[in-house]
């Protein structure tokens, strides 16, 4: 709960950072190309909002990374060789890149040339995006652990070669998650700009600034919406391949089969649509919760064992590991035999820590409805972005109060949409910290409940304070509006 709260708060700031970075970079590019101070004024206003959000996001992100050591020490030990690498690269390369160019971007308007300043603005956004990539490489590996080998001598999952490192970096789950997360950030930034600009129009203020900001924000948001749909499609295919239980929970699918229907809401289904989305085949086989528990044969003819069998083989792997470590110093032949049994069953070792087969079923109701909130709100926001961009392009927003209010309402809705997406991603893979490899009950630190409760409420109070301060500063900046530019 503590880690989930920290992650949820952090994700309030990340998508707006990614989205506003693109919006202000586009506006400054237009300023440099056209030499029109209007666009400098617009870029500087959104840059001010970006700066506030960026600062608070850093604070929550640092706390989040420290919690891997405090709350998940067994996890950090077990996969530190792999998990530490992308986080270190993110900190050394991407974070310092965005921090350095942020300083030039925010303070260097009258100190560096226009083109150098423009490059700094773009590089700040690129740095934030690269930073997100390395974080999502780490998260994607937790969803689909590739490129590492279990070492029974150190009892760790390690990368054995440079080729293994690139397998981790190019993990298809990580790539699709990165595209999905970044493009959702563009949607967040786009609808935020559109909603704030709509407020100006409703107040009869800053008409030219508001209309042109709605056009840019609407276009950025629409591009993001299309990218979200495309990356969401690949995420669905990857879930079907690597995390079928997550897909089954998201669909509330108890018994699967060929030509599976997609459930819009209980009682309303689209025939065969789930098979199309999950396998890109009309009659593709999609296993349900019961199929996964009992075992099934996939589309390629591979027999997937039942969870009970995986648990049995997982316990055999754990027993073999214990025998190997006991025999390796004084019984070479016994150690070799134990290691052979371990390697035969090591892929199921995580299942050996489970108590019963039903432990692999996540909270179905939570995942099912979070998935529908994500899709439903995403489609609504995309529609508002399309209408706003169209009427801004035609300069026909006057009198469209219903649309302006809809844009404002979509600001909180886009955050709910983003949080729902992460609920699907993270709650949907429970009970696993690392899919099929390490369950939560083994990954945690040995901490007292009292210690965690205390820090939980301390963090909750601090994060709530951060959020309240950010909102107050943003509202103050928005009420003040864009400043006049004096070169």
Residue 240 is classified by DSSP as: H
pLDDT digits (tens, 9 = 90+) for 321-352: 999 999 988 898 999 999 999 999 999 999 99
* Separation between Cα atoms, residue 353 and residue 322, nearest integer Å: 14
Residue 35, classed as helix, strand or coil, is coil
pLDDT > 60? residue 467: yes
What are the respective helix, strand and coil percentages of the chain, to the nearest 5? 75, 5, 20
What pLDDT does residue 126 have?
92
Domain residue ranges in the chain: 2-250+364-480, 252-353
Average pLDDT value over all residues in the chain:
93
- Backbone angles phi and psi of 257, in degrees to 5: 155, -170
Task: Count CA atoms closer than 13 A to 425's CA, side-chain side.
Answer: 27
What pLDDT does residue 487 have?
43
Average pLDDT over residues 292-306: 92
Which residue in 242, 247, 252, 229 sits closest to 286, CA to CA? Answer: 247
Average pLDDT over residues 60-73: 85
Note the pTM of the prediction, 2 decimals: 0.93
* Separation between Cα atoms, residue 435 and residue 143, nearest integer Å: 5
Find the Cα–Cα–Cα–Cα dihedral 95, 100, 106, 109, rounded to 10°.
-150
* Separation between Cα atoms, residue 407 and residue 381, nearest integer Å: 8
Which residues lie across from 150 on neighbouring strands?
A: 157
What pLDDT does residue 69 have?
84
Distances (CA, A) of 478 to 6, 50, 473, 474, 481: 27, 12, 9, 6, 5
What pLDDT does residue 484 have?
64
Contact 361, 289 (CB under 8 A): yes
Reading the block at residue 432, the tokens are 């696993």
Q: How confident is the model at residue 485 (pLDDT cuts 50, 70, 90)?
A: low
């Amino acid at each position: 709960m503590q880690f989930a709260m920290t992650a949820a708060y952090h994700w309030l700031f990340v998508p707006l950072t990614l989205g506003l970075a693109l919006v202000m970079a586009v506006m400054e590019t237009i300023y440099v190309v056209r030499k029109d101070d209007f666009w400098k004024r617009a870029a500087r206003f959104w840059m001010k909002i970006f700066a506030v959000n960026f600062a608070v996001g850093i604070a929550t992100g640092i706390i989040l990374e420290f919690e891997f050591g405090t709350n998940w020490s067994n996890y950090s030990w077990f996969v530190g060789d792999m998990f530490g690498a992308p986080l270190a690269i993110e900190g050394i390369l991407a974070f310092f890149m965005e921090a350095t160019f942020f300083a030039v971007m925010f303070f260097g308007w009258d100190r560096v040339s226009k083109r150098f300043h423009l490059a700094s603005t773009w590089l700040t956004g690129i740095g934030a995006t690269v930073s997100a990539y390395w974080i999502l490489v780490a998260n994607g590996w937790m969803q689909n652990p590739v490129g590492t080998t279990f070492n029974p001598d150190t009892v760790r999952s390690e990368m054995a070669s440079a080729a293994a490192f690139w397998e981790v970096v190019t993990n298809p789950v990580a790539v699709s998650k990165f595209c999905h997360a970044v493009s959702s950030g563009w949607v967040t930034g786009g609808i935020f700009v559109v909603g704030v600009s709509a407020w100006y129009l409703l107040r009869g203020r800053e008409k030219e600034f508001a209309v042109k900001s709605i056009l840019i924000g609407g276009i950025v948001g629409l591009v993001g919406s299309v990218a979200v749909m495309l990356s969401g499609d690949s995420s669905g295919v990857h879930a079907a391949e690597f995390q079928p239980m997550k897909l089954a929970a998201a669909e509330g699918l108890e018994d699967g089969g060929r030509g599976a229907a997609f459930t819009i809401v209980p009682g309303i289904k689209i025939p065969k649509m789930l098979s199309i989305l999950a396998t890109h085949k009309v009659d593709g086989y999609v296993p349900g919760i019961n199929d996964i528990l009992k075992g099934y044969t996939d589309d390629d003819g591979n027999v997937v064992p039942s969870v009970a069998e995986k648990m049995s083989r997982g316990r055999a792997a754990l027993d073999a590991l214990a025998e190997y470590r006991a025999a390796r110093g004084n019984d070479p032949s016994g150690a070799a035999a134990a290691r052979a049994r371990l390697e035969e069953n090591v892929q199921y070792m995580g299942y050996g820590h489970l108590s019963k087969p039903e432990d692999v079923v996540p909270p179905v109701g939570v995942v099912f409805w979070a998935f529908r909130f994500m899709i439903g709100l995403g489609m609504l926001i995309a529609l508002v972005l399309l209408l706003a961009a169209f009427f801004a392009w035609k300069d026909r927003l006057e009198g469209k109060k219903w649309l302006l209010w809809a844009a404002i309402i979509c600001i909180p809705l886009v955050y709910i949409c983003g949080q729902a997406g992460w609920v699907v991603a993270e709650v949907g893979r429970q009970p696993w910290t690392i899919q099929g490899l390490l369950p939560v009950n083994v990954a945690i630190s040995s901490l007292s409940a009292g210690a965690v409760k205390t820090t939980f409420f301390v963090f909750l109070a601090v994060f709530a304070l951060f959020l309240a301060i950010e909102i107050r500063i943003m509202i103050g900046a928005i009420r003040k509006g864009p400043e006049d530019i004096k070169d």
